[in-house]
Structure 1
Amino acid sequence: MTVGIHHLRTYLMAIDEGSISKAAARLHMAQSAVSRRLAELERHVKQPLLERSAEGVQPTVAGKMFCAKADAAVTAFDDAMRSDLHRVRALRVGHAWSAIGVYTSEILRRWQEANPEVLVRLKRVDDPAGGLTSGLSDVAIMRTRIGRRSLHEELLVMEPRVVAVPSGCPLISAGEVLLRDLVDYPLVINSFSGTTSLDLWDEGGQPAVAVEVDTIDDWQSYIAAGVGIGVTPASTAWMHPHAEISYLPLRDAPAVPVYLVWASNNRHPALHCFIQLARNVVAEGIE
């Protein structure tokens, strides 16, 4: 059995659709053929990549890491096989959940006006390194420091924090919310790519952790269900509004740094133009 690029495409489609039957429909293949191809891939890598249930499929922990590498491989393959090699490929901008918050739309709008020949592709990656070490992105927007010598990190802006609470939470009627007001509420924490930990509170006065999650989607689902509350950068409220969640200013929480991070050996011709544009838009917004 030879594993090839078609196995990777099938795996990525299954992840995107969350269902083998939907992936089969998108790929114009029989469901049995998709299942067989996925099984071949898992045998080749010698570990399960998908969790299968009556509701569909989702990546295992190993599958999440493999997904980033598979996406990078497919992107590189497609770039190599393009007939219009004179064109610059898309600049891939990785981010965990909220890009550059309120500045995102303005950056993309100005980029399109000034550089219509080069696409900027935003890609949400549940990866503590923003997809940089796996080759998934050219530049990443990070709210935690990676601290690797091979990566450049530039502080772009400091972002205030908010507290996310479910509908009907008594905190909604409060005129002001402080960290000490949250101690009696259990927390939902994104321990994979989030910015909140119990270190925000003094030892001995920390809230309980209701559940730890890996993605923004799961984080919002638990909060909306009333399992707990969450603390997050203000950009989450801008980029991920939710009908069953209210975002309230958190007055005394330390701000979250937002970094642009890129590999020192990245040679994408549009990289530094994008970095300069992001700097300009953020600077204008601060003034």
Structure 2
Amino acid sequence: MDVEALRTFLAVTETGQFQAAADELGISQQAVSKRIAALERHVEATLLVRTFRGSRLSVDGQVFLPHAKKVLAAIEQAEHAVRPGSRPLRVDVLNRRISPAQAVYRFYRSHPGTDLDAVTLSKENAAQAAQAVLEGTVDASFRALPADQVPAGVSAERLLDAPLELLVGPGHALADAPWISPSDLAGHRIWIPGIREGTEWAAFYQALTDAFGLSIDALGPNFGDEALMDALADSASLATLVGSGDRYLWPQNHDLRRIPLHDPTPVYPHVLLFRSGDQHPVLTALRDHLRTAGPRIPHDVWAPDWAGF
């Protein structure tokens, strides 16, 4: 059924005149007549009866009118539901402890009342997350995805570089260093449990390993962040890497140390993926916020060659 024909039918019933309906809709009287005739052919009934004063509803038209109003109301509700800004912006932050989640939270704090949902597609890799954006499962996703792997219909903007820090216990040989060069980590075991083959973070840590001759592994079961903090506190040789904006908590007696990496400063390049042409006002505001309020990045940044946005 032609929606515009339904709207035209409703306009005629409200104005009582074909010409008045035409003026209201911004079309010709002839177009109004054609739409009404097509609608009547479709329903196989006469809906309007012309008189010398204009037009009136037939008996069938009186029966049809309330249903036509319900159909148009449902269509308007459907259109409104997907209109930019009419629903919360759904953003995949991957993990609620890491930089993207903290950046989105700071954005929310600086824009009170903003309508958004932070979700975690933690089991999806970057390609799967990009597909979720394309399909509309989420509106945006923070991922480290090479430019040549961004699918058609998805835009990518590198808006959040997270400088890495070494996290160690108080007995580690580097525990008291004010900062460390990545090359100084050669020969030290860096344990990052949970690295999964085929994920973007696995590709990132492999590139970091190759660039600086590091020993990064994910050996053993992953019992979670708390177990990792316990292991670091009890070890004089174990270390891990975290982002400077990542939020981890541990007991005070663990006395863990976060040591910045410089000369160069490795950064994890979080790229914001979103559907090309998406006009959601919260997405626009979030992108503007990240461009202007992101963390200050040192001049000596290192990132994988494939992070060339």
| Aligned mate of 1:121, from 113, 117, 121 | 117
Normalization by structure 2: what TM-score? Answer: 0.51
Alpha carbons of 1:229 and 1:220: their partners in 2 closer, same or farther (altered >3 Å)? farther
CA distance in 1, matches of 2:210, 2:280: 44
Matched residues in 2 for 1:132 and 1:263: separation?
A: 9
Aligned-residue Cα RMSD (Å) equals 3.7
Q: Which of 1 and 2 has greater Rg?
A: 2
Q: Which runs of 5+ in 1 are unaligned?
A: 1-80
Residues 19-77 of structure 1: per-residue CA shift (max 9 Å, x gap): xxxxxxxxxxxxxxxxxxxxxxxxxxxxxxxxxxxxxxxxxxxxxxxxxxxxxxxxxxx
Q: Tell whether the 8 Å contact from 1:101 to 1:235 is kept in structure 2 after alignment.
A: no
SS at match of 1:137: coil
Letter in 2 for 1:218: G
Task: Find out whether 1:254 has 2:266 as its counterpart.
Answer: yes
2:143 & 2:169 partners in 1: Cα distance? 26
Question: C-alpha separation between the residues in 2 aligned to 1:208 and 1:107?
Answer: 33
Contact persistence 1:141–1:258 (CA under 8 A): yes
Unaligned runs of 5+ in 2: 1-76, 298-309
Give the alignment of 1:259-278 within 5 angstroms: 259-264=271-276, 266=278, 268=280, 270-278=282-290
Q: Measure, in 2, the Cα distance between the counterparts of 1:165 and 1:124.
A: 27
- Rate the CA distance shift 1:231–1:275 in 2: closer, same or farther, 3 A: same
Q: Is structure 2 residue 219 aligned with structure 1 residue 206?
A: no
Deviation, 1:204, is 9.4
1:187 — aligned with what? 190
- Cα gap change, 1:131 to 1:199, in 2 (>3 Å): closer
Distance 1:267 1:177, change over 3 A: same
Query: Paired residue for 1:230, among 240, 257, 276?
Result: 240
- TM-superposed CA distance for 1:151, in Å, is 1.7
Answer whether contact 1:106 1:281 (CA < 8 A) is retained. Answer: no
2:99–2:243: 8 Å Cα contact kept in structure 1?
Answer: no
Please, what TM-score do these two structures have when normalized by structure 1?
A: 0.54
CA distance in 2 between partners of 1:136 and 1:218 (Å):
27
Cα separation, 1, equivalents of 2:212 and 2:92: 37
- Return the alpha-carbon distance in structure 1 between the equivalents of residues 200 and 140 of structure 2: 16
In the alignment, the residues of structure 2 paired with residue 143 and residue 212 of structure 1 have an alpha-carbon distance, to the nearest angstrom, of 25
CA contact (8 A) 2:178 2:260 kept: no
Question: Percent identity of the aligned residues?
Answer: 17
1:48-59 residue pairs with structure 2 within 5 A?
A: none
Aligned residue-pair number: 196
SS of residue paired to 2:241:
strand
CA drift at 1:167: 4.5
